[in-house]
């Protein structure tokens, strides 16, 4: 299964992911038309800024394998697909109790002001690559298998260590 993985060192804080997310979750699915839609289309990805380090980090629902939001939801509005592990949200069943928001470690539960219910990432069921990852101009958000992502990180790190060995370190 592919996941939306984050490489925060690449984020420039342009918020293209946020815009693409809101557009993908609009009625018309076009930027120019979505901008004037009512109710206003809502994003489900958030670029957070850490002022201590002047670094932006795109935050997106992790679709946790053991999702606390799903286990606490009293109405079954939040469900997890047995195969894909995608956590989906049914606004019809949601009572707006915000228990899910209380237990989510990442703060990925938003609020739909008009409907007064929770709103969260659905990982763009109609798209091959989720809108946020597709829109990221620097590759800070990538849509990959964890194995592949970690594999390339491992290889990168191993290369660095190998370079150190070749340079005569710890011999």
CB of 58 to other proteins, least distance (A): 14
Cis ω for the linkage preceding 39 (within 30 of 0): yes
Which of 5, 87, 118, 135 is the binder for other proteins (CB under 8 A)?
Answer: 135
> Judged by CB under 8 A, does residue 15 bind other proteins?
yes
| 41-60 residues near other proteins, rule: CB under 8 A | 41-43
The answer to whether the beta carbons of residues 77 and 87 sit under 8 Å apart is: no
Q: Specify the residue for token string 């299964």.
A: 1
Which of 4, 23, 87, 121 is the binder for other proteins (CB under 8 A)?
Answer: 23
Who's near 157: CB < 8 A, 6+ residues apart?
none
Output 62 or 111, the one with its CB closest to other proteins: 111
Who's near 113: CB < 8 A, 6+ residues apart?
none
Who's near 36: CB < 8 A, 6+ residues apart?
none
> Judged by CB under 8 A, does residue 24 bind other proteins?
no
Output 46 or 94, the one with its CB closest to other proteins: 46
Q: Which residues bind other proteins (CB under 8 A)?
A: 14-16, 18-20, 22-23, 31-32, 34-36, 40-43, 134-135, 137
């Amino acid at each position: 299964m592919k996941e939306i993985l984050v490489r925060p060192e690449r984020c420039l804080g342009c918020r293209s992911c946020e815009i693409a997310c809101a557009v993908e979750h609009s009625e018309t699915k076009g930027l120019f038309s979505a901008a004037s839609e009512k109710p206003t289309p809502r994003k489900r990805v958030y670029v957070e800024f850490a002022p201590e380090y002047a670094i932006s980090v795109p935050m997106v629902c992790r679709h946790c394998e053991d999702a606390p939001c799903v286990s606490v939801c009293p109405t079954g509005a939040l469900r997890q697909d047995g195969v894909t592990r995608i956590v989906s949200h049914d606004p019809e069943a949601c009572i707006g109790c915000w228990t899910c928001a209380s237990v989510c470690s990442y703060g990925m539960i938003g609020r739909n002001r008009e409907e007064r219910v929770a709103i969260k990432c659905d990982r763009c069921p109609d798209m091959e690559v989720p809108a946020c990852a597709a829109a990221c101009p620097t590759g800070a958000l990538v849509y990959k298998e964890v194995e592949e992502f970690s594999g390339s990180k491992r290889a990168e790190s191993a290369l660095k260590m190998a370079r150190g060995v070749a340079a005569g370190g710890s011999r």
